């Protein structure tokens, strides 16, 4: 009888120990928040990118949830295709239509990563603690994800040396959209983006993206004086680092024929503004801007004349050059949702 009781006590003690361990694990393990009857991660997986002006009810829910949505979104940045998802994406389109309708649509992990980066950008500065995950996403194999991550870093607004350096590397990315979003982010991060000046100067050689670099150089102002020689080339030819006989790519209309528009005009006008903001009024700058006054009028008005005005009339002194009202104010930039 005593032996039976001792065995029963040992079993009971083991069960109690197991229960205690399970209870401790449950108490110490963080639990995912449930909102409107669904886990936050379920709301995150439902999210899709929408364009400006479109409503996004799922994003509004995540904004209502608050900081608890940030970690699941960051987790989505790590989503990668596996054998099962690849197999399902290949098999489902081959199934009969009535069968396909009954089965779930395969979810692209690339779409999920891009959407997560986009959402962190829409959340803005509140997502700064998770900015390192966006920096890591700048090395994603997919162009869309890298572009969304660069755009998100712009709106999150963390201006650390690590972020600036990562965006500077993106200015040489093979995808034009990644380079464009990285340049826009560095524009918003001036003057901290001064560390990216060498990469910004190199971007002046890209005909379609030179103006993005120019916008940032305008914000850097006198700090960007090393860019003056390249900006002079942009005013002359529309892009830097090109031979004297180089011609700017011809604009092609919807009919596939040249439309006669001067695509270099915008780059040249913006570069003239940047020279005015930087304020290095040496002879070569003045000569370049005076020559630019003979260019045909552009959509920018006559920015070359606005850049020249005070310096030319008052002996080209540095102080009067700084008083020239040219360039674009930060108040005129696009908002976070753009």
User: What percent of the chain stands above pLDDT 90?
Assistant: 56
Q: What is the pLDDT of residue 145?
A: 97
- Residue bearing the bigger pLDDT, 257 or 286: 286
Q: What is the pLDDT of residue 22?
A: 59
Nearest to 183 by CA among 194, 167, 195, 197: 167
Token pair 């936050």 is found at 40
Rounded to an integer, the average pLDDT of 313-318 is 32
Residue 16 has pLDDT above 80, yes or no: no
Residue 183 has pLDDT above 50, yes or no: yes
Do residues 214 and 267 lie in contact, with contact meaning Cβ atoms separated by under 8 Å? yes
Residues counted in the chain: 338
Residue 282: other Cβ atoms inside 10 A: 10
Q: What is the pLDDT of residue 90?
A: 63
Distance of CA 223 to the CA centre of its chain: 23
Residue 64 has pLDDT above 90, yes or no: yes
**Range of lowest pLDDT (131-145, 218-232, 307-321):** 307-321
Q: What is the pLDDT of residue 2?
A: 55
Q: What is the pLDDT of residue 79?
A: 82
**Range of lowest pLDDT (77-86, 113-122, 221-230, 263-272):** 77-86
How are beta strands 38-39 and 34-35 bridged, if at all?
antiparallel
- Residue bearing the bigger pLDDT, 95 or 177: 177
- Residue bearing the bigger pLDDT, 15 or 178: 178
Residue 67 has pLDDT above 90, yes or no: yes
Which tens digits make up the pLDDT trace of 192-250? 999 999 999 999 999 999 999 999 999 999 999 999 999 999 999 999 999 888 888 87
Q: What is the pLDDT of residue 3?
A: 64
d(CA 267, CA 185): 19
Residue 36: other Cβ atoms inside 10 A: 9
Q: What is the pLDDT of residue 89?
A: 59
Q: What is the pLDDT of residue 298?
A: 54
**Range of lowest pLDDT (120-124, 162-166, 279-283, 308-312):** 308-312
Distance of CA 321 to the CA centre of its chain: 33
Residue 169 has pLDDT above 90, yes or no: yes
Do residues 152 and 183 lie in contact, with contact meaning Cβ atoms separated by under 8 Å? no
- pTM of the predicted protein model: 0.75
Residue 88 pLDDT level (bands cut at 50, 70, 90): low
Q: What is the mean pLDDT of the chain?
A: 81
Residue 313 pLDDT level (bands cut at 50, 70, 90): very low
Q: What is the pLDDT of residue 30?
A: 56
Residue 32 pLDDT level (bands cut at 50, 70, 90): confident
**Range of lowest pLDDT (117-131, 146-160, 242-256, 275-289):** 242-256
Do residues 178 and 147 lie in contact, with contact meaning Cβ atoms separated by under 8 Å? yes
d(CA 62, CA 155): 17
Do residues 191 and 218 lie in contact, with contact meaning Cβ atoms separated by under 8 Å? no
CB neighbours of 13 closer than 8 A, spacing ≥ 6?
none
Question: Could you state, in order of their start, the residue ranges of all structural domains in the chain?
Answer: 34-122, 194-249+259-338
Q: What is the pLDDT of residue 146?
A: 98
User: What percent of the chain stands above pLDDT 70?
Assistant: 73
- Residue bearing the bigger pLDDT, 75 or 329: 75
Which tens digits make up the pLDDT trace of 278-310? 999 889 999 999 888 887 665 444 444 445 443
Distances (CA, A) of 268 to 27, 230, 274, 288, 313: 64, 11, 10, 11, 22
Tokens linked to 313: 């009339």
């Amino acid at each position: 009888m005593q032996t039976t009781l001792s065995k029963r006590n040992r079993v009971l003690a083991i069960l109690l120990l197991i229960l205690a361990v399970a209870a401790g694990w449950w108490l110490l393990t963080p639990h995912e928040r449930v909102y409107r009857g669904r886990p936050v991660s379920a709301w995150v997986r439902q999210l899709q990118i929408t364009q400006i002006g479109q409503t996004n009810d799922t994003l509004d829910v995540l904004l209502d949830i608050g900081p608890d949505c940030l970690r699941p979104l960051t987790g989505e940045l790590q989503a990668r295709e596996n054998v099962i998802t690849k197999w399902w994406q290949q098999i489902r389109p081959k199934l009969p239509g009535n069968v396909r309708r009954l089965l779930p649509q395969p979810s692209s992990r690339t779409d999920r990563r891009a959407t997560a980066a986009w959402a962190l950008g829409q959340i803005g500065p509140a997502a700064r603690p998770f900015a390192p995950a966006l920096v890591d996403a700048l090395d994603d194999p997919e162009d869309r994800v890298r572009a969304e991550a660069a755009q998100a870093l712009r709106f999150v607004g963390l201006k650390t040396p690590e972020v600036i350096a990562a965006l500077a590397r993106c200015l040489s990315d093979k995808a034009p959209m990644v380079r464009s979003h990285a340049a826009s982010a560095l524009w918003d991060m001036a003057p901290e983006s001064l560390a990216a000046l060498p990469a910004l100067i190199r971007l002046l050689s890209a005909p379609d993206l030179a103006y993005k670099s120019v916008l940032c150089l305008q914000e850097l102002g006198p700090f960007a004086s090393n860019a003056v020689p390249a900006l002079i080339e942009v005013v002359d030819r529309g892009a830097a680092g090109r031979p004297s006989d180089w011609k700017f790519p011809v604009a092609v209309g919807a009919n596939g024929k040249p439309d006669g528009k001067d695509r270099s005009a915008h780059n040249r006008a913006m570069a003239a503004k940047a020279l005015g903001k930087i304020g290095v009024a040496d002879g070569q700058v003045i000569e370049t801007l005076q020559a630019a006054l003979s260019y045909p009028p552009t959509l920018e008005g006559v920015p070359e004349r606005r850049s020249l005005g005070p310096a030319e009339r008052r002996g080209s002194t540095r102080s009067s050059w700084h008083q020239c009202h040219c360039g674009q104010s930060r108040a005129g930039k696009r908002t976070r949702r753009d």
